[in-house]
């Protein structure tokens, strides 16, 4: 008897399988002492024999899998997906006793790539993370497959949970303005619209909106990625050097170009990142992507959708702003470097 099943317990206990099932699922009315004793005996026997319910058998009779799938695009592991997001997703699922399966999307999300994903029915819903947002083609496919889905990091009218880049950029700019800083520059990116994440447009729009409201002249530097890395770096800093900014707001990743440039003299910089640690000592205003929050809201939305079958209006999650004044101290080793072994 390699693997114990309900029938085994029933036989040893001298009752029917149905009774065992009821007892083990708490659907056994234990009114009288004799029944309590019986139930206790069955439970003890089950534990002793090492009984574990077979999830597959359960799924088939209950009509659901008690599992959702986290779908991550191919580039996702290089850049985007965060352990905080993953941790939060697992925590929520744990509460409702569901499993999480993780799947990597094939290179391309066109016809055959999709086929791979929807080949079999093994989860109740789909949580997706695409580094530059879920492609429309894929969103449509999910609808066609009638699989309850939630799209993280994607800005569409419905069924999405995404970071509020627009609001974050606006807030950041306003903070600088309230400090009395006026010459605020924005360093963005020039990316072809086709492969562009919504955040590229939204952060820029947030900055421009706040500057416009304050009647300040904006300065936008948006190098294209076509040139080499050095070219971008130099291009950004030539522009900034001319402008003599009192503060700089950078699209995530470009802040390093600024703080390491020769002209830079420690003016406040604001930028967006998902990293836990910041490795330089300039005064900085960091907008952290709300990974954990997004994960939590994402699963919850998905669970609701699975239960009700209804789609929902997309939800923007606010960034978290932390401010660190500059310091002339030598940089210290972090107490526990998160990304090091």
Contacts with DNA, residue ranges (CB under 7 A): 3, 5-7, 14-19, 21-22, 24-25, 27-29, 31-32, 34-35, 38, 51-54, 57-58, 60-63
Tokens encoding 175:
């903070």
3-class SS of residue 190 = strand
CB contact at 8 A, 296 and 92: yes
Residue range at the interface with a second copy (CB under 8 A); choices 8-16, 20-28, 56-64, 169-177: 56-64
Please report how close the Cβ of residue 61 comes to a second copy at its closest, in angstroms: 9
- Taking alpha carbons only, the member of 211, 90, 76 closest to residue 131 is 76
Which residue is listed with tokens 């409702």? 96
Please report how close the Cβ of residue 238 comes to a second copy at its closest, in angstroms: 15
Give the ranges where 159-290 is alpha helix by DSSP (H). 165-178, 198-213, 229-243, 255-259
The item of DNA, a second copy, none sharing an interface with residue 25, based on CB under 5 to 8 Å by kind, is DNA
Q: How many residues bind a second copy (CB under 8 A)?
A: 68
User: According to the binding rule CB under 8 A, does residue 77 interact with a second copy?
Assistant: yes
Tell me how far apart the alpha carbons of residues 307 and 206 are, in angstroms, rounded to a whole number.
36
Which 214-243 positions form the footprint of a second copy (CB under 8 A)? 229-230, 233
3-class SS of residue 113 = helix
Q: Which of 212, 324 has the CB closer to a second copy?
A: 324
Beta strands 284-288 and 320-324, pairing class? antiparallel
Question: What binding mask, one character per residue, do residues 321-340 give for a second copy by CB under 8 A, x or -?
Answer: ---------xxxxxxxxxxx
Tokens encoding 183:
């010459």
Which 247-276 positions form the footprint of a second copy (CB under 8 A)? 252-254, 256-257, 260, 262, 272-275
CB contact at 8 A, 151 and 159: yes
Please report how close the Cβ of residue 115 comes to a second copy at its closest, in angstroms: 10
Rounded to a whole number of angstroms, the distance between the first and last alpha carbons of the chain is 44
The item of DNA, a second copy, none sharing an interface with residue 35, based on CB under 5 to 8 Å by kind, is DNA
Handedness of CA 290, 210, 220, 324 (dihedral sign): negative
Please report how close the Cβ of residue 123 comes to DNA at its closest, in angstroms: 15
Handedness of CA 142, 147, 152, 154 (dihedral sign): positive
Residues that bind a second copy in the complex, under the rule CB under 8 A: 2-3, 50, 52-60, 65, 67, 70, 77-81, 83-84, 86-87, 90-91, 94, 99-104, 118-122, 145-146, 229-230, 233, 252-254, 256-257, 260, 262, 272-275, 279, 289, 330-341
């Amino acid at each position: 008897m390699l693997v114990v099943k309900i029938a085994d317990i029933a036989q040893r206990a001298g009752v029917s399988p149905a009774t065992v099932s009821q007892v083990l699922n708490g659907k056994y009315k234990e009114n009288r002492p004799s029944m309590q004793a019986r139930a206790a005996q069955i439970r003890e026997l089950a534990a002793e024999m090492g009984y574990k319910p077979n999830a597959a058998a359960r799924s088939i009779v209950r009509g659901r899998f008690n599992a959702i799938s986290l779908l991550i695009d191919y580039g996702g592991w290089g850049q985007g997906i965060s352990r905080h997001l993953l941790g939060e997703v697992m925590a929520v699922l744990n509460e409702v006793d569901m499993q999480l399966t993780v799947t990597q999307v094939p290179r391309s999300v066109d016809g055959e790539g999709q086929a791979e994903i929807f080949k079999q029915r093994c989860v109740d819903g789909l949580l997706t993370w695409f580094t530059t947002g879920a492609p429309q083609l894929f969103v449509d496919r999910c609808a066609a497959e009638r699989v309850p889905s939630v799209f993280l990091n994607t800005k569409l009218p419905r069924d999405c949970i995404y970071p509020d880049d627009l609001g974050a950029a606006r807030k950041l700019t306003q903070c600088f303005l309230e400090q009395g800083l006026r010459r605020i520059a924005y360093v963005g990116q020039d990316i072809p619209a086709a492969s562009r994440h919504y955040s590229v447009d939204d952060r820029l729009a947030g900055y421009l909106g706040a500057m416009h409201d304050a009647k300040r002249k904006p300065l936008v530097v948006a190098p294209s990625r076509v040139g080499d890395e050095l070219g971008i770096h130099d291009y950004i800093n030539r522009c900034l050097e001319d402008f003599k900014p009192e503060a700089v707001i950078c699209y995530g990743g470009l802040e390093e170009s600024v703080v390491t440039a020769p002209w830079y003299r420690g003016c406040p910089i604001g930028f967006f990142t998902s990293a836990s640690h910041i490795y330089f000592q300039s005064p900085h205003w960091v907008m952290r992507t709300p990974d954990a929050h997004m994960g939590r809201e994402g699963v919850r939305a998905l669970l609701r959708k699975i239960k009700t079958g209804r789609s929902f209006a997309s939800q923007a999650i606010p960034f978290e702003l932390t401010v660190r004044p500059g310091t002339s101290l030598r940089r210290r080793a972090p107490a526990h470097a998160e990304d090091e072994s």
